[in-house]
Copies of this chain bind each other. A is one copy, B any other.
Amino acid sequence: MKRIFEIDPWLITSHQLEVKDKRLQESITAIGNGYMGLRGNFEEGYSGDHLQGTYIAGTWFPDKTRVGWWKNGYPEYFGKVINAPSFIDIGITVNGVRVDLAKSKFRDFTLTLDMHQGLLRRSFVLEQETATVRFEFARFLSLRVRQAAFIQVTATVLSGNAAIKFDAGINGNVVNEDSNYDDHFWLPDATDATAGYIQMTTRPNPFKVPQFTVLVQQALRRDGVPIQGNVSSEPGRVNAQVTAKLAAGEQVTLEKDVVVVTSRDVAKDAQLVATQKLMQTAQAQSFRENLRSHEALWAQRWRGSDVTIDGDVAAQQGIRFNIAQMFMTYYGEDKRLNIGPKGFTGEKYGGATYWDTEAYVVPMYLAVTPPDVTHALLQYRHDQLPGAYHNAQQQGLAGALFPMVTFNGIECHNEWEITFEELHRNAAVAFAIYQYTAYTGDESYVNGPGLEVLVGIARFWADRVHFSQRKQMYMLHGVTGPNEYENNVNNNWYTNTMASWCLEYALQRLAKGNADVVAKLAVSDTEAAHWQDIIDRMYRPEDKQLGIFVQNDTFLDKDIRPASSIPADQRPINQHWSWDRILRSPFIKQADVLQGIYFLNDRFTQAEKERNFDFYEPLTVHESSLSASIHAILAAELGKSAKAVELYARTARLDLDNYNNDTDDGLHITSMSGGWLAIVQGFAGMRYNHDTLSFKPFLPDKWHSYSFKLNYRGRIIGVRIGKQAEFTLLDGPELDVMVFDQQVHLQEGVHDAQRIDI
């Protein structure tokens, strides 16, 4: 754990430049607007260790797969989000000396991410022998004009005289740190110093992945007045210099407006015109006005999603940070996009789509955003069905295998134990359809496009199982469960259980699907009967003596001992132990059996849940950012409130406290829902089975109260849990909810809140 920012309910602030942890500081101060995003790099540049990061959603490069020995069925490339042209650059020299916080003398450093509106501010006082100058920076990526970034820097001379030179530029000569063969994914197309833009295209590739062209333009304002500056260029780079000679007490403000357009939306030849139009829109407002309209849109987002925690400011900060970062990554505006594990905050995991979206993000987005946001995430998978069929075919199998990692539906990871074996992602895609349908009550997706997805998935599982003559049961050999600290196991209980559930759900929905879709899918009686046979005779390993589901065959033969037996200096084990040792150990990376119990929650008795939790949680090292939340929810359900609170702390401030010592690479965006899930599904015990919202809330000891909002079937419901549980219908038609198995009627305007003792 390492906490480098101060505790505050709405701000992420530090008064210290973290030289050793610059990358960590950059990750946490990343901002985005769903269209693009930036790590917390410094406008003026920084010569110390850091990770340059500018990312434009949906622009990626298929980097030729690098493996030791090729195996049939391997994906040909690993898709990678591209480090995009850097457009925040405003180099600064004062009296001829370059400002570089890795070298310059400075004081009063402040860095603040304002979570209200995704605004990043920074200031410091530069101390030269003959002058001291305060620099104040602000930047945001607009929600109003999503292609636009606004950057402002103000220099105030505190003493002496300062000749200040700003060098505002766009630099396309950037590289990915994570690149298999070539450093440069971009080739320059056009550069125009006077018009202030560069146009770049991604390198050609042999994999039929489209090349992307982006055009990035900057325009400057000095003290609010447009200015061109002294321009220059080289291929892939434009610069404009603005100079100011200031005496003590004088100040200058430079504003840099940036517009980014990509070939995803605008064809290459039309990009310049489109950009100039957008630039006009951007420049029609001042920096302050642009910020105000941006903030208004953020306020609207917060109205339906804010969570308050009274009595624990660190927890309050953690949950808001998570919500803000998630919304900065994705808010459903573009159905071709999804949520990468690092969002716009780093290169790791290639920036592609993982099962995290369905398993961890969907359950939260359903409740904190309008339904069309989640619907867009579902639609994304449907649109990628051809890729899923391709993936199954690559393995010699029928049906649709959704990818573990993808940009376009085609699997693009490069390790067989993930690509070929971590099949459970296919179930998560189906389960998200179930969740969406159960929560929203909207059956239009599952009866149409969703049914195509479900049947594709069912056909995959039906072909992937084999029938064991010896045990007279269906089995899934050679899989990797959610616990990636074991690979290539047989009969992973979670995978077998969820595969069977997929078949069951597909059969159930086929009976209700739109006639034309059902006809097109043509599931014969024989096929359906075969699915039913698999459901009936699926092998799900259990240990009757221990009364638990067994994670996979022979798991219980391991040297079973609790994670607490691992010496502290060997944690996290993935940074200290060889892969061999990890695989053989009994230690579990993240919920596996318990993930299944979480998903299919109403199928298990309390005693079953308890025995499995008590067996598996102590073995779990929670070294996936996706782990703590699921355990917190189950702990809460089982009345283990202290455990639930402990696990909540790990998930809610995972990045802010750098729990897993890897946030320098970028934030764990897709696991940021964990804190919300732990509060809402855990502490408040929210469930939504059978068209009913229900709650079994408790209040963590140290908290005075907590509150959250639910978007539920055309309503906004406010929930506040203090000594009592309070339910308020903020918007929408009346409704009954269940609280501790007691029916509570909510009606707008009738009462401020329904209060129930807990």
Question: Do A580 and B68 touch across chains, with their CB atoms under 8 A apart?
Answer: no
Question: Do B576 and A72 touch across chains, with their CB atoms under 8 A apart?
Answer: yes
Contact of A420 among B73, B470, B576, B580 (CB under 8 A): B580
Size class of the contact patch on chain A = 35 or more
A539 vs chain B, min Cβ distance (A): 8
Chain B residue at minimum C-beta to C-beta distance from A413: B68
Question: Do B71 and A557 touch across chains, with their CB atoms under 8 A apart?
Answer: no
A402 vs chain B, min Cβ distance (A): 15
> CA A68 – CA B416 in complex, angstroms?
10
> Given that A69-B415, A487-B488, A488-B487 are known contacts, is A395 also in contact with B554, CB under 8 Å in the complex?
no
A556 vs chain B, min Cβ distance (A): 5
Question: Do A72 and B574 touch across chains, with their CB atoms under 8 A apart?
Answer: yes
Residues of chain A from 68 to 92 with CB closer than 8 A to chain B in the complex: 68-69, 71-74, 78
Question: Do B557 and A471 touch across chains, with their CB atoms under 8 A apart?
Answer: yes
Is A740 on the interface with B (CB-CB < 8 A)?
no
A582 vs chain B, min Cβ distance (A): 8
Is A578 on the interface with B (CB-CB < 8 A)?
yes
Residues of chain A from 460 to 511 with CB closer than 8 A to chain B in the complex: 466-471, 475, 477-478, 487-488, 490-491
Question: Do A68 and B78 touch across chains, with their CB atoms under 8 A apart?
Answer: yes
Chain B residue at minimum C-beta to C-beta distance from A570: B396
> CA A553 – CA B65 in complex, angstroms?
33
Contacts of A396 in B (CB 8 A): 577-578, 580-581
Question: Do A416 and B580 touch across chains, with their CB atoms under 8 A apart?
Answer: yes
Is A584 on the interface with B (CB-CB < 8 A)?
yes
Is A421 on the interface with B (CB-CB < 8 A)?
yes
Question: Do B557 and A490 touch across chains, with their CB atoms under 8 A apart?
Answer: yes
Is A579 on the interface with B (CB-CB < 8 A)?
yes
Is A67 on the interface with B (CB-CB < 8 A)?
yes
Is A566 on the interface with B (CB-CB < 8 A)?
no
Map CB proximity to B onto A371-390 as digits: 1 under 8 Å, 0 otherwise: 00000000000000000000
> CA A396 – CA B570 in complex, angstroms?
12
Contact of A466 among B67, B491, B559 (CB under 8 A): B559
A191 vs chain B, min Cβ distance (A): 31
Which of A421, A469, A579 counts the most chain B CB atoms within 10 A?
A579
Which of A466, A467, A553 counts the most chain B CB atoms within 10 A?
A466
Chain B residue at minimum C-beta to C-beta distance from A72: B578
Is A575 on the interface with B (CB-CB < 8 A)?
yes
Contacts of A491 in B (CB 8 A): 554
Chain B residue at minimum C-beta to C-beta distance from A582: B72
A474 vs chain B, min Cβ distance (A): 10
Question: Do A475 and B557 touch across chains, with their CB atoms under 8 A apart?
Answer: yes
Contacts of A554 in B (CB 8 A): 477, 490-491, 553-554
> CA A584 – CA B73 in complex, angstroms?
14
Chain B residue at minimum C-beta to C-beta distance from A393: B578
Contact of A67 among B67, B73, B477, B553 (CB under 8 A): B67
Contact of A575 among B68, B72, B466, B582 (CB under 8 A): B72
Contacts of A413 in B (CB 8 A): 68
Is A523 on the interface with B (CB-CB < 8 A)?
no
Is A583 on the interface with B (CB-CB < 8 A)?
yes
> Given that A468-B557, A468-B559, A557-B468 are known contacts, is A395 also in contact with B69, CB under 8 Å in the complex?
no
Closest 8 CB pairs of A and B: A73-B578, A68-B414, A420-B580, A71-B579, A466-B559, A488-B488, A395-B578, A478-B584
Could you write out 28 A-B pairs with CB less than 8 Å apart?
Answer: A65-B68, A66-B68, A68-B414, A68-B415, A69-B414, A71-B579, A72-B578, A72-B579, A72-B582, A73-B578, A73-B579, A74-B579, A394-B578, A395-B580, A395-B581, A396-B581, A416-B579, A420-B583, A466-B584, A467-B559, A469-B559, A469-B560, A470-B556, A470-B560, A475-B557, A478-B580, A488-B488, A553-B553
Given A66-B67, A420-B579, A478-B580, 15 more contacts at CB 8 Å? A66-B68, A67-B68, A72-B575, A72-B576, A72-B578, A72-B582, A73-B578, A394-B578, A395-B578, A396-B580, A420-B578, A420-B580, A477-B557, A487-B488, A553-B553
